[in-house]
């Protein structure tokens, strides 16, 4: 697109009473807004995401910015949702007023559900970060995009990965049990694993939602043991997952393996470091990077150098989202929201650090190739053991210590 | 429903119940003497757990051994809280005193959140993975130690209340406050001591629980609500009742988890709570203060 | 006289200013009105009858779920659903109230049992697939339809909750000056003495409970329609219960305007504290706790009580 056409578009947009600042943005910068729960109970995770965003933006700017826009630099405009819906909405409105080309965030599915209506109304591309609820892309919205696997993809692909691994080890999985926290996250995962039973041919023999705050899961795990499962899937948070793994180990429930599903603990380096022997050979299907990718290694090194800590999957997702936006901006040759949106929908990006093929969006904005990694903790490190082509280690399956 | 499952439910229920009993004994003591339901009880337990964590992580002190530090420390902290926040309002309406402790709970829990963030911490000493089986029922050693420690602590409390002068003064104040005052007991001091002891008990419970649990700002909530149920069940101000009530609630919860689907075990505990409140507010064993 | 002028001015501002407010302030104002409303509803039972419920979330949740389920499953307008929810909540309140009062639960015991009821409802909702369990219920975005309590933009919602809040204050005033109100006052001060003088304590407390629970449920419907999403924790969780009573206590339980005043003080307080100490979670609730302690210690009659005594 030539400069004249671009100016005409910008002029038309401005004339609609929209963001005059886009005219300014065209020469110098492209504004990307983010909404994260910067203050509030999720502040820690939000910071990890923010680090990833910052790393990616600085990397791109240092390399010359968006070439198709005359070396325009990316600018991140901050928004704090405090994990609250009303604030998410007002922050979105404010950022849109300030002329962002796209919105990133907001972490919580609940906030996302509301914010996406604001972005849709204002025709602003909204690239989800961390929000996992499946219904976020439903409803015929054109401006919502999601790079990471949604709940359904997370569950079904993890089960696929486990089954592929079981098949390779000649140890079939016939009976699956699941424990999940009884909130939104766990219940969503539980529903998917239950629904997938027919497709993959397993019996879903026991499903136990549990209360997060409970100090004891022995009774629940006894019920699991009594249902004689081959596999126990656990969708939970840090503390409860710890107690469950602890008790399950002692109860000798007789499964081939214990696998977390988007579990907050089992592939979490801090959890592993704190509970070394407990975590040995635990599986987890979770967001991750591609360990085979040289670029990923470079990104990890850069992150470590800058933030003095290890890049987590929160940061990986954030880093990737910026990469997707950059690619779309280059192809759109414009910071205009509608053009950006169209460019996003045509994304076919292979240069990324995720454990999947090229990033492509379907017509509701989901990343068709989104794929969780299957990880196993080996010698105190969470290693990718599946899908096979991304694996950095061979899985240990079945896991001897879980056997009865 | 096999005998194995039931046996396991009974065993784990009793083990956890011992801890509930210790937490509730402290609460019952506070109620008996000060006539307030201390909403901040769980928050004190949480602070003690953080203390246990720091002592373990920074100084390598075993959680059980650190009780000699944590117990007295929180006895003292409890006394300070009582003197500063509660005592000045001792003539306020009952419901206002309840709100006072609620405010304290909100303050302390979020102070912890502000200071130490929401990320979970664990204390995992070497014996954390130890366990054995009784029949077909699993007994995890850290839980057994916690239960045993709770019982020992509760018995020590009873002995203290029976045998020492201060203990007798506490019991006097608890059973017959006006008479006690007439007898020349330094009411203010005893009230502070009682709150201190109650806090010390829940702190010990926190230290006992840390090896198999985790540490986070909201960790006291799990035990707080259980403590209320236990105290009502055992009879407000009935210390022995609190320990026994703990076992009953632990059992109810565990059996609920075994027999009911989903996460409905909480319902069993609350239903028990409501039933006792309505029909036997003096507690199952009587001797409580009643409505 | 000054109070009337001030009141009139404030009311005028509340009615006329919002269309000119930036969206963020309007949202805050809606929150303030909602909390003030819930506080006023709680106040009738808590402040006037002296029965401190810690589980008003039960009625809030019943209201929210009833109207939302009727809307989603049967297409019933939430305006009607609101009334249905109110009636259902009042029925539940009467039942729970009857059990509690009949069996002589007072003071902290009453507070605890109300807490238990709310928690029980939450656990049941979490474990019931038919109401969406933990996934909750979503009101799908659709064309604005005022007849279905769906508006374009925030302003109409503001006026609805403003009307509800003013209505609640008016109802409180009416109750206070009625025979019910005087009976409740007597009960609050000394229930046994009131009984001895012939007041039907049980009946009066139940009336207060019915009004309080009915009104609280309407607030639940408003929440559901405004935020378009409800789940067991949001609706039946302790946060709603605590928020309601906090406004009333700080503003002045037992006064008609107290809860609204309380809301006007507490909400900006929490906003400012969050803004002042960015990056630190929990500061606002910590402040709530501190405010509660300070108010109980130094201003047990709340702000309104303090203002009155100064005259």
Query: pLDDT digits over C216-252, tens only?
Result: 999 999 999 998 889 999 999 999 999 999 999 999 9
Number of inter-chain CB pairs under 8 A, A vs C: 64
Number of inter-chain CB pairs under 8 A, B vs C: 130
**Cβ contact B200:B75 at 8 Å:** yes
Quote the pLDDT of residue B112. 92
Quote the pLDDT of residue B289. 55
CA of C142: how far to CAs of A140, C148, C151, C231, in Å? 12, 10, 10, 20
Would you give the DSSP letter of residue A391? -
**pLDDT band at residue A13 under the 50/70/90 scheme:** very low
Q: Tens digits of per-residue pLDDT, B162-198?
A: 999 889 888 888 877 777 777 778 888 999 999 999 9
Instruction: State phi, psi for A33 to the nearest 5 degrees.
Output: -95, 150
Would you give the DSSP letter of residue C150? B
Q: Model pTM?
A: 0.89
Of A217, A222, A278, which is closest to B5 when you measure between CB atoms? Answer: A222
Range A53-66 average pLDDT: 93
Quote the pLDDT of residue C99. 92
Q: Is the pLDDT of residue A25 over 90?
A: no
Q: Is the pLDDT of residue A23 over 60?
A: no
Quote the pLDDT of residue B179. 79
Q: Is the pLDDT of residue C49 over 60?
A: yes
Quote the pLDDT of residue A241. 94
Would you give the DSSP letter of residue A159? H
Residues in A touching B113 (Cβ below 8 Å): 41
Q: In chain C, what percentage of residues exceed pLDDT 70?
A: 97
d(CA A335, CA A240): 45
**pLDDT band at residue B120 under the 50/70/90 scheme:** confident
Quote the pLDDT of residue A243. 94
**pLDDT band at residue B95 under the 50/70/90 scheme:** confident
Quote the pLDDT of residue B287. 60
CB-based contact (8 Å) between C138 and chain A? yes
Collect all residues with Cβ–Cβ distance below 8 Å to C216 and sequence separation of at least 6: C38, C41, C42, C56, C59, C60, C63, C89, C244
Chains in contact with B, where contact means 3 or more Cβ–Cβ distances below 8 Å, are A, C
Instruction: Kindly calculate the radius of gyration of chain C based on its CA atoms and give it in whole angstroms.
Output: 19
Half-sphere exposure in the Cβ direction for C228 (13 Å, CA): 23
DSSP string, A285-346: EE----TT-HHHHHHHHHHHHHHSS---HHHHHHHHHHHHHHHHHHHHTS--HHHHHHHHHT
Q: State whether residue A381 is helix, strand or coil.
A: strand
Range A182-209 average pLDDT: 94
Q: Tokens representing A140?
A: 């015929």
C-alpha B167: how far from its chain's center?
19
**Cβ contact B234:B241 at 8 Å:** yes
Q: Tens digits of per-residue pLDDT, A368-394?
A: 999 999 999 999 999 999 999 999 999
Q: Which of A94-103, A227-236, B116-125 has the lowest mean pLDDT?
A: B116-125
Nearest CA in chain C to B40: C289
d(CA B256, CA C123): 13
Of B113, B270, B291, which is closest to C116 when you measure between CB atoms? Answer: B270
Q: State whether residue C136 is helix, strand or coil.
A: coil
Q: How far is A393 from chain C (nearest CA, A)?
A: 37
Q: How far is C287 from chain A (nearest CA, A)?
A: 14
Cβ distance A90 to C229 less than 8 Å, yes or no, reads no
Quote the pLDDT of residue A307. 92
CA torsion through residues B223, B229, B234, B239, sign? positive
Four-CA torsion A359, A365, A366, A368, nearest 10 degrees? -50
**Cβ contact A189:A155 at 8 Å:** yes
Q: Tokens representing B185?
A: 């007991």
Q: Is the pLDDT of residue A29 over 60?
A: yes
Quote the pLDDT of residue A3. 45
**Cβ contact C217:C59 at 8 Å:** yes
Of C108, C280, C290, which is closest to B95 when you measure between CB atoms? Answer: C108
C-alpha A83: how far from its chain's center?
17
CA torsion through residues C90, C92, C97, C98, sign? positive
DSSP string, B259-289: HSSTTTHHHHHHHHHHHHHHH-TT-TTS-S-
CB-based contact (8 Å) between C109 and chain B? yes
**pLDDT band at residue A27 under the 50/70/90 scheme:** low
**pLDDT band at residue A173 under the 50/70/90 scheme:** very high
Total number of residues shown for chain A: 404
Task: Give the ipTM.
Answer: 0.90
Range A264-277 average pLDDT: 89
Q: Secondary structure of A53-118 in the HEC alphabet?
A: HHHHHHHHHHCCCEHHHCCEEEEEECCECCCCHHHHHHHHHHHHHCCCCEEEEECCHHHHHHHHHH
Q: State whether residue A383 is helix, strand or coil.
A: strand
- Is residue A37 exposed (0-12), middle (13-18) or buried (19+ Cβ within 10 Å)? buried
Q: Is the pLDDT of residue A291 over 80?
A: yes
Residues in A touching B121 (Cβ below 8 Å): 274
Which of A14-18, A87-91, A249-253, C218-222 has the highest mean predicted lDDT (pLDDT)?
A: C218-222
Q: In chain A, what percentage of residues exceed pLDDT 70?
A: 93
Four-CA torsion B265, B266, B271, B273, nearest 10 degrees? 130
Of B216, B257, B262, which is closest to A239 when you measure between CB atoms? Answer: B216
Q: Tens digits of per-residue pLDDT, B36-58?
A: 889 999 999 999 999 999 999 99
CB-based contact (8 Å) between B2 and chain C? no
Q: Secondary structure of C179-244 in the HEC alphabet?
A: HHHHHHHHHHHCHHHHHHCCCCHHHHHHHHHHHHHHHHHHHHHHHHHHHCEECHHHHHCHHHHHHH
**pLDDT band at residue C280 under the 50/70/90 scheme:** low
Residue B174 gets the label, from left (phi > 0), alpha (psi -120 to 50) or beta, of: alpha
Quote the pLDDT of residue A404. 54
CB-based contact (8 Å) between A238 and chain B? yes
Chains in contact with C, where contact means 3 or more Cβ–Cβ distances below 8 Å, are A, B
Which of the residues B110, B253, B269 would you substitute to probe the C interface, choosing the one with the greatest number of C C-beta atoms within 10 Å? B110
**Cβ contact A350:A357 at 8 Å:** yes
Quote the pLDDT of residue C279. 58
Quote the pLDDT of residue A402. 83
Of C27, C138, C279, which is closest to A90 when you measure between CB atoms? Answer: C27
Mean pLDDT score across all residues of chain B:
90
Nearest CA in chain B to C291: B103
């Amino acid at each position: 697109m030539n400069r004249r056409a671009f100016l005409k578009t910008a002029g038309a947009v401005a004339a609609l009473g929209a963001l005059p600042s886009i005219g300014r943005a065209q020469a110098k910068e492209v504004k990307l807004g983010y909404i994260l729960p910067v203050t509030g109970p999720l502040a820690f995770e939000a910071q990890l995401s923010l680090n990833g965003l910052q790393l990616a933006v600085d990397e791109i700017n240092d390399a010359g910015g968006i070439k198709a826009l005359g070396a325009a630099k990316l600018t991140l405009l901050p928004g704090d949702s405090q994990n609250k819906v009303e604030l998410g909405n007002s922050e979105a409105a404010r950022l849109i007023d300030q002329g962002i080309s796209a919105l990133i965030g907001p972490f919580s599915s609940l906030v996302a559900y509301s914010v996406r209506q604001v972005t849709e109304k204002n025709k602003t591309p909204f690239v989800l970060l961390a929000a996992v609820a499946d219904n976020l892309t439903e409803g015929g919205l054109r401006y919502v995009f999601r790079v990471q696997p949604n709940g359904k993809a997370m569950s079904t692909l993890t089960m696929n990965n486990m089954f592929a691994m079981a098949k390779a080890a000649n140890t079939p999985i016939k009976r699956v049990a699941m424990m999940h926290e009884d909130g939104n996250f766990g219940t969503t995962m539980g529903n998917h694993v239950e629904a997938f039973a027919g497709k993959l041919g397993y019996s879903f023999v026991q499903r136990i939602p549990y209360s997060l705050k409970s100090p004891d899961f022995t009774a629940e795990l006894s019920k699991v043991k009594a249902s004689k499962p081959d596999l126990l899937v656990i969708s939970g948070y840090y503390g409860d997952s710890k107690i469950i793994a602890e008790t399950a180990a002692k109860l000798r429930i007789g499964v081939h393996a214990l696998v977390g599903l988007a579990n907050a603990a089992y592939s979490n380096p801090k959890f592993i470091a704190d509970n070394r022997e407990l975590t040995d050979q635990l599986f987890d299907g979770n967001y991750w990077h591609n360990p085979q990718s040289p670029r990923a290694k470079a990104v990890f090194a850069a992150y470590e150098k800058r933030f003095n800590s290890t890049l987590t999957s929160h940061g990986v997702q954030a880093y990737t989202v910026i990469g997707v936006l950059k690619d779309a901006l280059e192809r759109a040759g414009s910071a205009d929201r509608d053009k950006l949106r169209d460019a996003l929908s045509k994304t076919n990006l292979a240069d990324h650090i995720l454990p999947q093929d090229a990033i492509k969006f379907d017509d509701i904005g989901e990343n068709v190739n989104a794929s969780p990694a299957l990880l196993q903790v080996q010698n105190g490190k969470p290693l990718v053991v599946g899908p096979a082509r991304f694996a950095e280690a061979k899985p240990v399956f079945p896991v001897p210590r879980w056997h009865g | 429903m096999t005998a194995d499952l039931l046996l396991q439910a009974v065993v784990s229920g009793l083990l956890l119940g011992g801890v509930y009993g210790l937490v509730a004994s402290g609460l019952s003591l506070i109620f008996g003497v000060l006539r307030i339901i201390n909403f901040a009880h769980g928050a004190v337990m949480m602070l003690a757990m953080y203390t246990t964590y720091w002592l373990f992580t920074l100084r390598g002190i075993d959680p059980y051994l650190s009780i000699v530090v944590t117990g007295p420390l929180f006895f003292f902290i409890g006394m300070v809280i009582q003197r500063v926040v509660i005592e000045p309002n001792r003539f306020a309406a009952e419901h206002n005193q309840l709100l006072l402790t609620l405010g304290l709970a909100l303050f302390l829990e979020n102070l912890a959140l502000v200071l130490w963030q929401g990320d979970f911490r664990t204390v995992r000493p070497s014996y954390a993975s130890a366990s054995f089986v009784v029949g077909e029922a699993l007994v995890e050693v850290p839980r057994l130690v916690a239960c045993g420690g709770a019982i020992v602590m509760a018995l020590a409390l009873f002995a203290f209340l029976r045998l020492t002068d201060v203990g007798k003064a506490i019991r006097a104040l608890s059973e017959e406050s006006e008479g006690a005052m007439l007898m020349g007991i330094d009411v203010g001091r005893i009230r502070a001591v009682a709150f201190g002891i109650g806090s010390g008990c829940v702190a010990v419970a926190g230290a006992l629980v840390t090896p198999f649990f985790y540490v986070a700002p909201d960790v006291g909530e799990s035990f707080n609500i259980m403590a209320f149920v236990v105290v009502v069940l055992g009879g407000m101000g009935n210390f022995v009742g609190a320990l026994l009530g703990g076992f009953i609630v632990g059992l109810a919860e565990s059996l609920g988890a075994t027999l009911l689907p989903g996460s409905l075990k909480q319902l069993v505990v609350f239903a028990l709570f409501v039933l006792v409140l309505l029909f036997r507010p003096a507690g199952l064993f009587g001797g409580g203060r009643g409505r | 006289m000054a109070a009337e002028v001030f009141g009139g001015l404030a009311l005028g501002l509340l009615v006329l200013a919002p269309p000119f407010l930036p969206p963020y302030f309007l949202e805050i104002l809606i929150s303030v009105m909602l909390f003030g409303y819930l506080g006023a509803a709680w106040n009738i039972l808590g402040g006037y009858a002296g029965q401190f419920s810690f589980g008003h979330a039960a009625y809030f949740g019943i209201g929210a779920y009833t109207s939302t389920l009727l809307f989603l499953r049967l297409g019933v307008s939430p305006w009607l659903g609101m009334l249905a929810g109110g009636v259902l909540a009042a029925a539940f309140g009467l039942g729970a109230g009857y059990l509690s009062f009949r069996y002589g639960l007072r003071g902290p015991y009453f507070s605890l049992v109300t807490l238990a009821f709310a928690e029980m409802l939450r656990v049941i909702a979490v474990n019931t697939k038919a109401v969406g369990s933990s996934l909750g219920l979503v009101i799908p975005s659709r064309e604005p339809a005022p007849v279905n309590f769906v508006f374009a933009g925030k302003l109409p919602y503001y006026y609805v909750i403003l009307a509800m809040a003013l209505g609640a204050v008016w109802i409180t005033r009416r109750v206070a000056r009625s025979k019910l109100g005087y009976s409740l006052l007597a009960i609050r001060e000394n229930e046994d003495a009131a009984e001895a003088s012939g007041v039907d304590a049980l009946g009066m407390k139940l009336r207060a409970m019915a009004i309080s629970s009915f009104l609280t449920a309407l607030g639940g419907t408003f929440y559901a329609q405004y935020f378009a999403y409800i789940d067991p924790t949001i609706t039946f969780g302790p946060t709603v219960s605590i928020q309601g009573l906090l406004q009333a206590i700080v503003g002045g339980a037992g006064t008609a305007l107290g809860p609204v005043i309380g809301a006007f003080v507490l909400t900006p307080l929490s906003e400012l504290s969050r803004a002042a100490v960015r990056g630190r979670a929990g500061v606002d609730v910590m402040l709530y706790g501190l405010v509660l302690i300070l108010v109980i210690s130094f201003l047990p009659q709340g702000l309104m009580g303090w203002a009155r005594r100064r005259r």
